[in-house]
Amino acid sequence: GENVEQHPSTLSVQEGDSAVIKCTYSDSASNYFPWYKQELGKGPQLIIDIRSNVGEKKDQRIAVTLNKTAKHFSLHITETQPEDSAVYFCAASKSNSGYALNFGKGTSLLVTP
């Protein structure tokens, strides 16, 4: 089955700096890659997703890049703010292959003022 590796497990940045979280996947047929943000005491919230027909997608301070050849995708957060502090999860899945999103183990991001 699909295996998703996520790095780093913890990340600390200063406010205003950029943060990058990377994920690799094993199944070359995977074609859907969402990113979720989970704040303390809350469920995961979708922040951005990308499908394999594009290489990059941006939404204000958040961007995701996808390298299908290398089978990795990354989340980029620019101009980080303290409210960006949370656990971020990547996931990968493919069409017509059951119902499971295959999640990474998460990255705990801390943005210090």
Give contact residues for other proteins (rule: CB under 8 A). Answer: 4, 31-32, 34, 36, 41-46, 49, 51, 89, 93-106
Least Å distance, CB 63 to other proteins, is: 18
Nearest Cα residue to 33 out of 24, 44, 41, 43: 24
User: Based on CB atoms, which residue is closest to other proteins, 78 or 101?
Assistant: 101
Nearer to other proteins, 10 or 18 (CB): 10
Rounded distance, CA 21 to CA 14, Å? 15
Least CB distance from residue 82 to other proteins, whole Å? Answer: 20
Three-state DSSP class for 83? Answer: helix
**Which of residues 62 and 78 has its CB atom nearest to other proteins in the complex?**
62
> Is 101 within 8 Å of 91 (Cβ atoms)?
yes
Q: How far is the CB of 100 from other proteins (least distance, A)?
A: 5
Distance CA 40, CA 55 (A): 31
Residue listed under structure tokens 């996947």: 25
Smaller CB distance to other proteins: residue 16 or 55?
55
